[in-house]
Structure 1
């Protein structure tokens, strides 16, 4: 019976590592992602080299794209994601402008370390109350591992107990599922961060256009409007700083959450390699609580629609010159 349970435990651990490895395979080279790993707007990942190869192939197959000296220009352009066929539009930096997925890179490092780490050996824990008794059962009422004598004569004699192996397998499965949930939620948070970065760019662009329009209108009556023009420009700038400060605070909040989740995932993966069931169960509850809190307790705050709109700063300069100094934004 003991040999069978040990075999099942090893088999399940191996299956977990195999499932994790499948998530780290590049769809192009069919090998484990090679750093740096880039995340596409559709949230799929590629090795940067593979992304560059796809981009070069699609550029070379299009005779209408610009070239330089017979070689396809590597900045700007577009290609399709090999996983979902979503079109990826590159900026002037080309594939080097794609954001790196540091979480995936960290998981790859951890996976490689764990795969090459020699199997740890340790003695089975003994009961503190009965020094000659091994911890071999789990108290369901007190939620802690204990020994058979504690069940018969000790503090757990009126409690319900279960075989250590059964509880070990269940809680280890819960931990594995919790890690999978955290990794999945991290992709969603990463998507929000990408949207916030785009919002920052839009806010800056809207402010830039409004400033240009304002300056053009003030230049018409520059001699008498110079002072007022500076005042109104400062109002726009203050509003821009307030909006950007709010968005950046959200970005920092999500970045801190990503870092915390990454560390929690790293701790979970390392802890799953604990070979001793009793040691594992003595600490699993605390780690599972942290994972539950991280996956359920984080509230994602989004900015309202039209947040980047700056139309409230539009001005009308058709008023008479005698009231020019009273000009204000049309609200």
Structure 2
């Protein structure tokens, strides 16, 4: 093997040839990378250049193609490939043999220490640390454990088949779960959007009704405000008449006109007392939640759920109160809670308005 390895070694790098192996006209073989270095060393850079063989110093002409024009020694490359294969097998066999040699005594390990479950040689049993241990022939233990491993291999193959099938079933379930989740989300979005649209429509309807109600009552209040200025004007006219009338005839004529205005003023006061100008928060609230059990939508953990959601909600606006209830709170209790909140809010606003000079 050493002689063959020497024959298959490059005379330049002294290692086994690295394909491609180029053959010179003088029959000497070199690695292509080694020839490249030789050309550089001999200052041969032209495709028509020439160089000397490092072995016999014979001149080699490149003839216009550089070293790519030199023939490859495919026979050496084939022998080299087989040599490397046999060399690797030989190395494996040597390693296999060394693995069966006792490092302490250099003898073949043909026994197995059953106490420590460790391969040993005969000297280890007779004179070494395993003298008092139970042993068995490696060949017998090897045959028994190999047979058991074959049985375990069959069982493990069945388990792997079952595991593969179970894995496929799990993948199908995960796919179904993903699809179902997507469908449910679409349903929630669609139905929820429809419900929200209905609520928004009712909100718009009530806001329109509230606007008309507000305009009508404001118009009446403006009429009342105008009517409240009549007594002051009449008082001034009556006082002026008493102080500055010129004769009885004029006085009687003026009094007749004033009397008509006084009767209208009295009539206006009675209408003002009988008219209701308030807008009922409670009535609008009942119209808003008509047919809706609001406690189904607001619970003790509603704020936590909304806070953990990635979607922003208008419920977190500063002007929106947060109503939280336990599951036992009734719809009526919630309504009362909301009305008390807005009544309290209105009371605070009235107090602020009264303090404004």
Q: Which has the higher Rg, Structure 1 or Structure 2?
A: 2
Give the structure-2-normalised TM-score: 0.28
Q: Normalized against structure 1, the TM-score is what?
A: 0.30
- Whichever structure has more helix as a proportion of its residues is 2
